[in-house]
Amino acid sequence: MTQKADRRVLVPVAGVAREIGFYLAGMDEVREQLHASVSGISNEDIGRLAVPETHSIGALVLHIGEAEWWWMQCIVAGHKLTDEDRRAAYWDVLTEPERVATSGYSAHFCLAEADRIRKQTRDLLASFAEADLDRVYARERRGTVREQSLRWILHHLIDHEAQHKGQILMLRRLLGLKNEELLG
């Protein structure tokens, strides 16, 4: 009897420098897992708080997009935050726990926002070379200048999304939604 193989490898994303493509492949793997964790959640449950004063699943998905947008557009690309940026569905979403529910956002809407931001990230990274991974970006926060390389930023975005995906899986359980079929 021949056994079926479950092969897991990362293949660099096309259209960007090879090493950057590996980072994007890692980001895409976690994004696929996020989609599997969130797709199909009802409009009611996507904005429901499992525990008072926490975040909804939808808010966490939008926050994942917000963080990626801020790091890539504001830090890497040097975009200056505008009033229009602050009106985006994802902006500061974690400061308003009820926003996803009161705005009527669906799982599809939240994921589409995060995916739209991912496309912007891909478009930006298409112009970078592998040597740019070691370029350092400085930002001031609370009186301290913080420096981080593009390599660190991309790693951080993978880690950030993976951590929130785990949080989302916990929230699913607290909301009484099944996780078993999502685990692979």
Residue 121 near residue 16, CB atoms below 8 Å: no
Helices (H), ranges, the chain: 18-38, 43-46, 57-69, 83-86, 99-103, 107-125, 150-174
The string of pLDDT tens digits covering residues 53-80 is 899 999 999 999 999 999 999 999 999 9
Lowest mean pLDDT among 1-5, 9-13, 46-50: 1-5
CA nearest 150: which of 169, 127, 172, 171? 127
pLDDT for position 31: 98
Residue 149 has phi, psi (to 5 degrees) of -85, 160
pLDDT for position 7: 83
Query: Six-digit token pair at 166?
Result: 């785990």
The string of pLDDT tens digits covering residues 13-45 is 999 999 999 999 999 999 999 999 999 999 999
The string of pLDDT tens digits covering residues 86-97 is 999 999 999 998
Residue 20 near residue 155, CB atoms below 8 Å: no
pLDDT for position 87: 96
- What structural domains and CATH numbers belong to the chain? 29-179 (1.20.120.450)
